[in-house]
Structure 1
Amino acid sequence: MNPVLTSLVAVFGTLAGSTLTFIFQRHIARQGERFTRSQQLWNERTTAYSELAAALTDFRRSQNDRWHLEQADQTSSEFVKAREESYQRRADATAALCRVRLVCGDAGLGQLAQDALDAATAVHLARNEQDRAERGKVARLALDRFLTEAAAQIL
């Protein structure tokens, strides 16, 4: 066989091997990057959904405390303190809701989160104990709907 032809075949083989190695390595690197991004997004979503659930639970509790203290004496310092705490808990829940909206990428899930916040907000507006209990139940169920949908998306 011609030495020039043999050299050309060797060079071509080396270039083809190098090119294929580069293509496969790039593909593997992209897969790794996609997996890493996917895992990071999963972690961020799980954290955001959990933080919202905790913030809404604290907010609902503060709304119940506020309602009870308002019924006892709306001029008391305990009621004023409970009202201020409920404002802070609402701010915390609103911040958690914003984070959920940033990471969820699903308008329906964002709306369920907003519904849960709205339901918790309405607890302190109850006219009597039965109404307060019902509003609390509505708030818990709204949070459950959000969590059910969120869990389905991250599992």
Structure 2
Amino acid sequence: MDAALIAVIGTLLGAVATHWFQGRATERTASLARTEQLRQERIATYSAFAGAVVDYRQSQNDRWFRARLEPGSEEAEQSRHASYRQRTAARQALFRVQLICDEPATRRLAEAAFESTHCMHEAGDDEERTLRSEEAKAALAEFIEAAAPSVR
């Protein structure tokens, strides 16, 4: 009788221990899956933002040149409207960064990259436009450098 009771208790303890360890393993697996999914989301979001800002900077440069070389022309107007579309795409990508990024400093760098690109078309001469373009490029590089550790 004692042997049977010990066997039953041993079986119950084994079942409880197995259940507990399996639950912990399941939680760990789910946590790792969530972490990897967030990492992949960040990679996609940060890459899309960088691409949108590069396209926006290019359209701002084009807008500036066309406004200076052909003021009031149809090409200058088309370039201005194209820069608006690129600004919208870059702003949408910025919103995604703001939603997924946990680091306030990194979010501020993304906002700075957007803003420095946004002001390029206001340059008074080619030297200032070049300077603003380089500042926008540097601001984007700074964002990428700050965001990279969160996706490694």
Task: Say yes or no: TM over 0.5.
Answer: yes
1:12 aligns with 9
Residue identity matched to 2:122: L
Kindly report which structure 2 residues correspond to 1:91-102, keeping only aligned pairs within 5 A, or say none.
Answer: 91-102=88-99
2:37 aligns with 40
Kindly report which structure 2 residues correspond to 1:2-151, keeping only aligned pairs within 5 A, or say none.
Answer: 3=1, 5-151=2-148
Contact residue 39 and residue 150 of structure 2 kept, 8 A: no
Paired with 2:117 and 2:16, the residues of 1 have a C-alpha distance of: 60
Residue identity matched to 1:113: A
Paired with 1:152 and 1:22, the residues of 2 have a C-alpha distance of: 36
Paired with 1:94 and 1:15, the residues of 2 have a C-alpha distance of: 59
Residue identity matched to 1:80: E
Q: Which moved more, 1:41-50 or 1:145-154?
A: 145-154
The Cα of 1:150 is off from its aligned counterpart by 0.7
The Cα of 1:83 is off from its aligned counterpart by 0.5
Q: Deviation above 4 Å: which 4+ runs of structure 1? A: none
What secondary structure is seen at the aligned counterpart in 2 of 1:75? coil
Paired with 1:97 and 1:26, the residues of 2 have a C-alpha distance of: 39
Residue identity matched to 1:99: R
Residue identity matched to 2:94: L
What secondary structure is seen at the aligned counterpart in 2 of 1:105? coil
The Cα of 1:106 is off from its aligned counterpart by 1.2
Identity %, equivalent residues = 35
The Cα of 1:107 is off from its aligned counterpart by 1.0
Q: Which runs of 5+ in 2 are unaligned?
A: none
Give a deviation string over 1:81-123, Cα, whole Å, max 9, x none: 1111100101000110111111111111110000000000011
Paired with 2:29 and 2:104, the residues of 1 have a C-alpha distance of: 29
Q: Which runs of 5+ in 1 are unaligned?
A: none
TM-score of the pair, normalised by structure 2: 0.98
Cα RMSD between the aligned structures?
A: 0.7
Q: Which moved more, 1:32-41 or 1:98-107?
A: 98-107
The Cα of 1:73 is off from its aligned counterpart by 2.3
